[in-house]
Amino acid sequence: MRTGIRRTTAAATAGLLLLTGTLPQASAQPSSTSATARPNSVPPDLPPNTAPPADEGKPDVKYERTNKGCVESDTKSELIKTMPWGQVQLNLEQAHRFAKGRGVKIAIIDTGVDPRNPRFGNRVVGAGEYVDGNKNGLDDCDGHGTEVAGVAAAAKTEGDFVGAAPEATILAIRQTSDRFEFKGDANNEKRGSAGKVGTLAQAIVRAANADAKVINISLTNCGAPKGFSADDQKLQAAIRYAVDVKNVVIVTAAGNLSDQGTGCAAQNNNLDPNTVNSVSSPAWFANDVLSVASLARNGDVSSFSVWGPWVSIAAPGEEIISVDPKGTGLTNANVTAQGVQDIKGTSFASPYVAGITALVRERFPDLTARQVMNRLKATALHPGNVSGKDNKIGFGMINPVAALTAVLPAEAKGFQKPQPKEMNTAVTPPPGLDWPPIIVALSGIGIGVGLLLLTLFVRNSLNRRRGQPV
């Protein structure tokens, strides 16, 4: 960095937050008459004409504040002396020559977004609340959602740090929080944190109806394949509604490995990609979302990033710098129960992709959500294998400049993928053998050889008569 920037630390969860609720099953339970079981890496098909869930716009139960303190800045700050490597790697400065997200709304469904950091300006709008019914998404006791929003859309003020879409509007929707709990009642079990799969589905519908063009979900419900619940189907229906009816691109974190109960317990290192140990939702709805893996500075997939056939694309997810959730500066670390830790996770790779998606939506406003997703995957830096895709980083690291400048024939109006066609060109067969000339030629050769042998015989006979040695 050419100027010093305050480094602050915050007591926020840097990893993914678990949503409470039934974990999705990666395969439908076959009936006794079912012919073929579905692979456990693929969700069941959504029944035709399934309506999205109704958005109640409020918490599903009454959550209460825990005794955990909210995010606090570290007053003994240091200076951040380097520009975020992810910002450099993605060449955001060049990308911003083409678009900055102006006029595009990015919904951040998370722990809320605190709008007071000056890098947000007046671009944060309270859009929904599913934790505390008296709020509107603009409180963030955890700090996670504010940091995610900073990566996606913080503007440049002092120094060189900038979010991926610095002129986009941020729709703040608080759907989860580790600082709230539900103590249980006769109908519902106790929950150690706020948030449920059902309210995530409602939040997606709410964001779509608020004219968001991009939704970022840095939240994951992860576990071994289990039963596909009614809430899981609501989530699937909400996603499909947002994408196909409201034309929204949904970007979601691929998931983190963790043995602390805040992520996936087992890596999907199976030889068979159709069989997985962990299901990460909503990432596994691969046909309808962009699921984002995390990359380290050296270009390798991060050790904590969950693999899976649903992974779409990758972005930097380590050594993250973002806005301070409760101050006016920046932060590159969080205070957790384990001490001060660098900010990292697929949670923070996802908003890079969400912000870049906003740039593409500004530059190509006529593209549908699915065309935008295809453009981002087609222009990514593909892994070096035959298919150009793998289960670790999907189609590869997102390439903002290429996504904003490439000409893709598939986007042309009326374009149809070329299909092989039968050729009608007449091909003349090789001529048959003309036997009379061949017979004459062979006969001539035979006669010539015979005359030569006769000449040699006569010469030999004459030499014998004259007494000359043969």
Domain 5-25+43-411 -> CATH class: alpha beta
The pLDDT score that the predictor gives to residue 409 is 87
110 is catalytic: yes
Structure tokens at 188: 């519902």
> Which is the catalytic residue, given 27, 73, 132, 144?
144
> Which is the catalytic residue, given 280, 294, 347, 350?
347
pLDDT truncated to tens, each residue of the chain (470 aa)?
333 333 333 434 433 344 444 334 333 222 233 334 567 888 999 999 999 999 999 999 999 999 988 876 553 356 676 789 999 999 999 999 999 999 999 999 999 999 999 999 999 999 999 999 999 999 999 999 999 999 999 999 877 899 999 999 999 999 999 999 998 887 778 888 899 999 999 999 999 999 999 999 999 998 888 778 899 999 999 999 999 999 999 999 999 998 656 688 999 998 787 889 999 999 999 999 999 999 999 999 999 999 999 999 999 999 999 999 988 889 998 777 667 888 999 999 999 999 999 999 999 999 999 999 999 999 999 998 888 999 999 999 999 999 999 999 888 776 566 666 666 666 666 677 667 777 777 778 888 887 888 788 777 777 666 555 54
How is the beta sheet containing 219-223 ordered, strand by strand? 17-18, 219-223, 279-281
d(CA 87, CA 356): 11
Q: Is the peptide bond before 282 cis (omega within 30 degrees of 0)?
A: yes
Whole-Å CA distances, 20 to 39, 134, 198, 437: 25, 22, 9, 92
Percent helix, strand, coil in the chain (nearest 5)?
25, 20, 55
Taking alpha carbons only, the member of 135, 95, 138, 144 closest to residue 120 is 138
User: The whole model's pTM is what?
Assistant: 0.82
**Crossing angle for the helix pair 230-240 and 197-209, to the nearest 10 degrees:** 20
Residues 6+ apart with CB under 8 A from 399: 379, 380, 381
**Burial group, residue 72, by CB count within 10 angstroms (0-12, 13-18, 19+):** middle
- Kindly list the domain boundaries of the chain, sorted by start residue: 5-25+43-411, 431-470
> Which is the catalytic residue, given 55, 110, 132, 142?
110
Helices (H) and strands (E) in the chain, counts: 9, 17
The pLDDT score that the predictor gives to residue 20 is 40
The pLDDT score that the predictor gives to residue 290 is 99
144 is catalytic: yes
232 is catalytic: no
